[in-house]
Structure 1
Amino acid sequence: MSADSAVRLLGDPDSGVRAYAAQRPRLPVPVLVGLLGGVETAGAAVRNPALPPAVMDRMVAEPSLVTRSRPPGTRTGG
């Protein structure tokens, strides 16, 4: 799938299609990083193999980057 197609699918009304698109490795990195802040797209975006290691390192160092998109009152971990 081309990067343009994946970006277009991010606007699909079906959340499953958006999640599929968020995991496409050809997404432009700025778009992929932007998806990390979305409640609906963060989980799929973090599983994208094209996520730069520097972004992963930053997410580990600053957990609030991951949890900020969670709805109020939700918890992380077990």
Structure 2
Amino acid sequence: MAAVAISLNTSTAHGLGILMAPADPHRQRDERGATATEYALLVTLIAIVILAAVFFFGREVLDLFDTSEIESVYPSD
């Protein structure tokens, strides 16, 4: 039975979806850009939720604080 030797470089391994250890195990990846992007996505999602809540519940909340009914029952003069 013949042995088959397979040689993978990083571009071939990446193309095949194989995870390889970095060449220098003491070298850390710089993930500052990824973290900033994640925070930007979170802020955007929170803003969308707030806008949707105001759009759907804004009138009901405004009616809760409407004082015209109270003034008709208890006039200030």
Question: TM-score normalized by structure 1?
Answer: 0.23
Which gives a bigger RCO, structure 1 or 2 (Cα 8 Å, sep 6+)? Answer: 1
TM-score by structure 2 length? 0.23
- Structure with greater helix share of residues: 2
Please identify the structure whose Cα radius of gyration is greater. Answer: 2
